[in-house]
Chain A
Amino acid sequence: MSSVASTVLTLVLFATYLGIGALAHDSHFSLGWVLGSTLLVWAGPAQIILISTLGSGATAVQAAIAVTVSAIRLFPMVVSVLPLMKTPKTRRRHLVLATHFIAVTLWVECYRLLPKVPRERRIAFTHGLGCGLVTVCMIATTLGYVLAAKLPPLFAAAILLLTPLAFLLSTARNCKQISDVLALVLGLALFPLVSMLDTGVDILISGVTAGSIAYGVHWWRERARA
């Protein structure tokens, strides 16, 4: 539990989930719904995409496609972090719950904290860290939801601004390669243009286009170097 309290990322995560709670309130979702999404989805970006696409009138299928595409990034995270938890005796089913907890914060923290934990206790440690973070985030979600309902518009707007601010900055910090930086910048710039088409899958079109251009530049630079 002390590991949960001690991470700076927990603070950012708390702010993010305050924002998600407030966003859900202002997009007319129920408190139970958004708490369920924190528990089951457990991926901030996916929750924001789900709430904002459904809230702006997209169908469930359109929202599901956007969330599925954005969630692919969980795959490499799981692949890279699970070897840290395995022992020769570990069965796959022992890792199911730990795998569910993997999202960007836990992924970063596992790299930082797991090497200090004896290998045979790492799965239990991850369960503890995961449960602690989910609990903290459920409290933040509830708080954000209630505050958005009760606060004067000035402060409610401030809580809603937490989401884009926290995500923009944490994404900027996670940029490792030129392709990541370009994807972020192009993604921001392209959405307002694509949204004029009003297709219902604007996010998907601008995201796949911007991401592919960014990858193209990365590919071209690698080739030029070789």
Chain B
Amino acid sequence: MSEFFGSPHALLVLVLAGFLPNEIWRMAGLWFGAGVDEGSEVLVWVRAVATAILAGVIAQILVQPPGALAGVPDWLRYGAVAAGFAVFMLTRRSIFAGVVSGEIILLAGKWWLG
């Protein structure tokens, strides 16, 4: 079992840095939500910051890729994502079409490079 879950320390980090930070905001919504205006300016800022943090994470995975993705040349990673985004826009925002095209470009490019 210990091999499956890893060290107790890692699980503690999961609870403290992963579970609690999310659950706090959900429960805050449950307890104090009644008085908050959904269209308020604070929430516009919250959404903008949350979006930008997520954008930063996307950029991090592309710029400093983990594991097997690091074996793909920079231009091919960026090109595949750009192609996926272009198809997404052309297909009236179909996430499915965008993801599939990006993946095909990556696989075809890597295969072509050998």
A residues within 8 Å of B by Cβ? 8, 11-12, 15, 22-23, 25-27, 29-33, 36-37, 40-43, 45-50, 52, 54-56, 60-61, 63-64, 66-80, 82, 92, 95-96, 99-100, 102, 148, 153-158, 160-173, 175, 177, 179-180, 182-192, 194-195, 202-204, 206-212, 214-215, 218-219
Contacts and interface: CB of A to CB of B under 8 A. Distances in A.
Interface residues of B, number: 76
B53 interface: yes
Contact of B57 (A26, A72, A80, A203): A203
Interface string B45-85: 11111111111111111111111110110000100110011
Nearest to A205: B56
B13 to A, nearest CB: 5
Interface of B: 1, 3-6, 10-11, 13-31, 33, 36, 38, 41, 43-69, 71-72, 77, 80-81, 84-85, 88, 93, 95-96, 98-99, 102-103, 106-107, 110-111
A8 B113 CA distance: 34
Contacts of B95: 8, 12, 166, 169-170, 173
Contacts of A195: 60, 63-64
A177 B103 CA distance: 29
Nearest to A100: B26
A195 B17 CA distance: 21
Contact of A165 (B5, B48, B50, B98): B98
Contact of A78 (B30, B50, B61): B30
Contacts of B96: 8, 11-12
